[in-house]
């Protein structure tokens, strides 16, 4: 009888123990592969539950694995873009806080300078209220 180099039912019966060993190896491989597929399918199912477009868009037969993965990629892309926008907003907000603090400091300096100038006017006997009254009367009369 001619032996073939590939596994087939005809040769395995003739080969005896070697065919049984090959059959066991094939069965083990099939089991490992089935577990791998089950794991992948489980993760895809979890993705379908987590990704918003997948959970609301299921039909009676469910979605294809490719459809779930495509929507997951779209969702992750959208999240990354939103994160980038939020990071930019936070950066802008931090810059505004720095600018705001600088303006507060400048405002305080101007208030102190104003108080100092008022005190100098008072020391020289100049009545600021009278000047303000005259200034407003002049501006109203114009």
Over residues 68-127, the pLDDT tens digits come to 999 999 999 999 999 999 999 999 999 999 999 999 999 999 999 999 999 999 999 888
The CA angle 128-132-134, to the nearest 5 degrees, is 115
Q: What span, in angstroms and rounded, lies between the C-alpha atoms of 105 and 110?
A: 9
Domains in the chain (CATH in brackets) are 24-103 (4.10.280.10)
Q: How far is CA 20 from the centre of its chain?
A: 54
Q: Six-digit token pair at 116?
A: 């100092």
Residue 16, sorted as left (phi over 0), alpha (psi -120 to 50) or beta, turns out to be: left
């Amino acid at each position: 009888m001619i032996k073939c180099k590939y596994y087939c039912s005809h040769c395995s019966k003739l080969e005896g123990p070697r065919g049984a060993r090959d059959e066991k190896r094939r069965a083990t491989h099939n089991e490992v592969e089935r577990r791998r597929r089950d794991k992948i399918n489980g993760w895809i199912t979890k993705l379908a539950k987590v990704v918003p477009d997948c959970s609301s868009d299921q039909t009676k037969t469910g979605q294809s694995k490719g459809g779930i993965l495509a929507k997951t990629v779209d969702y992750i892309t959208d999240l990354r873009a939103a994160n980038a926008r939020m990071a930019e907003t936070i950066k802008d907000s931090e810059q505004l806080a720095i600018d705001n603090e600088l303006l507060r400091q400048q405002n305080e300096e101007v208030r102190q300078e104003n108080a100092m100038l008022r005190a100098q006017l008072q020391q020289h006997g100049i009545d600021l209220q009278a000047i303000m009254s005259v200034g407003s009367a002049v501006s109203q009369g114009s």
